[in-house]
Amino acid sequence: MKKILKGKFDRLRQLSNASGTFSALAIDQRGSLESMVQSSMPEGVYTGEYAKEFKRLVSKELTPYISAILLDKKLGISAISAKSDTCGLILSYEKAGSEVFSTPGKIPEILLNESCKRMVDFGADALKVLVYYNPDDDFDVLDKKHAFLERLGNEARAAEIPIFVEPLVYDNTVTDQGTKEFAKLKAKKVKATVAEFSKSKYQIDVLKIELPFNYKYVESFVEKENSTVLYTKEEVKQDLIQIGELASCPIIYLSAGVPTDVFRKELNLVNNSGAKYSGVLCGRATWQDGVSIYATEGAAALTEWLQTTGKQNVQELNKLLDHGATPWYDIYGGLDNIEVVEQSY
């Protein structure tokens, strides 16, 4: 019997759809989104208000069709106010990834002016924390990240708010993650990371993970005769199944910035493998094509795009989830095998 605190249980239900899966949209990008919008505008035009409006419009138009949205409080306050009441709210709880990635050891940091309790009081249904993770790193680096997650888990338990942890794998020698060399390492690193973060000491509620392959080198994606095939479809299938078996908490997949049609093909691969997963937290694959439309044609044009293409992007993903994702509570044996408990101090 799996015991889950009532606050966490109620919020996980709020964040998932009627089928018990997570159809979630990520638009918590901060500096990277500002750069995307600014680069599409004439020089000297951009202000931070444009990124805020972009998020607000995405939230207003797409949240009626998803179970949860991931936002930030730096640029996303108006987007939070604009979301549908039926859509759960996940808030970023860490410094932007760009601020951490270039630092020694890539040690994660929590926003200094926030706490789990403050986020709960603000209305969050869950918190998301990104952690750059290399399972082959030096002990000192790993120990700091493990301790960070243990503290985070205890704080979230006290506030009874679910934690979505997003581990992004890297290597200290092969630093270009788009290369064949890194693609050869990726599946092993993702599996080792899932195995580590599934340990009960971290109290992670949902793992938001990368797909364990680079689609450019998968047998079914390679189009040119001189392209390199690093993974057969059978190898990908086995990696996905093993990840599902290693996880002791629900896992959801991120889109990692790939084009919309590519992410659909990737999810089809997951579905056809029969591997266990409980949904997606999809970002740029859903809305990135709207950035240039907004920057060059304005809010009305973006609204029209969101109401048509953006909505279709979401609905196509929802169809894929209907065919392959399993309820988050199935990893615990189903709702009948969960005991909802009150907090004890």
In a domain, 181, yes or no: no
> Which pLDDT score is estimated for 102?
75
> Which pLDDT score is estimated for 100?
72
> Which pLDDT score is estimated for 96?
78
In a domain, 223, yes or no: no
Whole-prediction pTM: 0.96
Q: For the purposes of burial, counting CB atoms within 10 Å of the CB of 121, is it exposed (0-12), middle (13-18) or buried (19 or more)?
A: exposed
In a domain, 226, yes or no: no
In a domain, 178, yes or no: no
- CATH number, residue 110: 3.20.20.70
Q: What are the structure tokens assigned to 165, written together?
A: 């942890």
Q: How many residues does this entry show for the chain?
A: 345
Tell me which long-range contacts 338-341 makes (C-beta under 8 A, separation of at least 24).
338/1, 338/2, 338/3, 338/4, 338/9, 339/1, 339/2, 339/3, 339/4, 340/4, 340/5, 340/6, 340/9, 341/3, 341/4, 341/5, 341/6
CA torsion sign, 103 to 107 to 198 to 281? negative
The helix/strand count (H/E) of the chain reads as 14, 10
> Which pLDDT score is estimated for 48?
87
In a domain, 183, yes or no: no
Q: Using an 8 Å Cβ cutoff, are 251 and 278 in contact? A: yes
* CA of residue 135 relative to chain centroid, distance: 20
Profile the chain (345 residues) by mean pLDDT over runs of 10 residues.
Answer: 97 98 96 92 91 97 98 97 98 83 87 96 98 97 98 98 97 94 97 98 98 91 74 95 98 93 94 97 94 96 98 97 98 98 81
In a domain, 334, yes or no: yes
Q: ∠ CA(116), CA(119), CA(120), 5° rounding? A: 85
Range of the structural domain that residue 130 is part of: 2-172+192-214+233-341
In a domain, 167, yes or no: yes
Q: What is the b/e burial string over 248-283, where b = at least 16 CB atoms within 10 angstroms of the residue's CB?
A: bbbbbbbbbebebebbbbbbebbbebebbbbbbbbb
Calpha distance 111→124 (Å, rounded): 15
Decide the pairing of beta strands 22-26 and 251-254: unpaired
> Which pLDDT score is estimated for 97?
66
Place of tokens 């599934």: 198
Q: Using an 8 Å Cβ cutoff, are 127 and 70 in contact? A: no
Q: Using an 8 Å Cβ cutoff, are 282 and 263 in contact? A: yes
Count CB-CB contacts under 10 A for residue 165.
26
In a domain, 13, yes or no: yes
Give the total number of structural domains in the chain.
1
